[in-house]
């Protein structure tokens, strides 16, 4: 019975870390139902930290994994703040009848570049976390169906 519970908990942490990337991309970059992007990233990070603490027995690796989650959470918060400010600029420029096509294009290009930079950071974070996990832990991390909250 204890082995089943331990395996279930391992599956949950592996799922969280693997799916955290999808959550950040989908939830943060496009918004979550009933959650703001900041709330969604905090929730995913909180879940991930809790499951790392409970299921990664090597305290050194667990601490490093949690540090990576904390760093990504901060980066996403900064990204979200920039995107909110950028959206306001785009709305204001769009309301200006005299705004040129080139001005609008430049604003959208900057917005898209920020998003691409965030995608790259998420991919790098994914690989950092994967190198710290054992094969067994990573197999568990990458199973989305075990994600707490079903995301």
Which residue in 151, 132, 144 sits closest to 18, CA to CA? 144
Which residue in 144, 29, 138 sits closest to 75, CA to CA? 29
Q: Which residues of 49-87 are buried (b: 16+ CB within 10 A; e: fewer)?
A: bebbeebbeeeeebebbbebbeebbebbbebbeebeebe
Residue 57 token pair: 């027995």
The pLDDT value given to residue 26? 46
Q: Quote the pTM value.
A: 0.69
Q: What is the mean pLDDT of residues 12-24?
A: 49
Q: How does the average pLDDT of the chain come out, rounded?
A: 77
Task: Please tell me the least confidently modeled range out of 2-16, 40-54, 99-113.
Answer: 2-16
Q: Is the pLDDT assigned to residue 89 strictly greater than 60?
A: yes
The number of beta carbons lying within 10 Å of the beta carbon of residue 140 is: 25
* pLDDT top residue among 123 and 49: 123
């Amino acid at each position: 019975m204890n082995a089943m519970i331990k395996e279930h908990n391992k599956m949950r942490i592996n799922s969280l870390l693997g799916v955290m990337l999808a959550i950040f991309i989908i939830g943060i970059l496009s918004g979550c139902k009933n959650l703001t992007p900041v709330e969604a990233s905090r929730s995913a990070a909180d879940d991930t930290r809790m499951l790392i603490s409970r299921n990664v027995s090597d305290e050194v690796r667990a601490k490093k994994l949690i540090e990576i989650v904390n760093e990504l959470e901060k980066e996403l918060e900064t990204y979200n703040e920039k995107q909110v400010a950028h959206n306001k600029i785009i709305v204001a420029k769009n309301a200006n009848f005299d705004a040129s096509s080139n001005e609008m294009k430049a604003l959208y290009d900057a917005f898209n570049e920020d998003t691409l930079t965030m995608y790259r950071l998420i991919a790098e974070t994914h690989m950092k976390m994967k190198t710290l996990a054992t094969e067994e832990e990573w197999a568990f991390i990458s199973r989305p169906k075990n994600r707490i909250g079903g995301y």
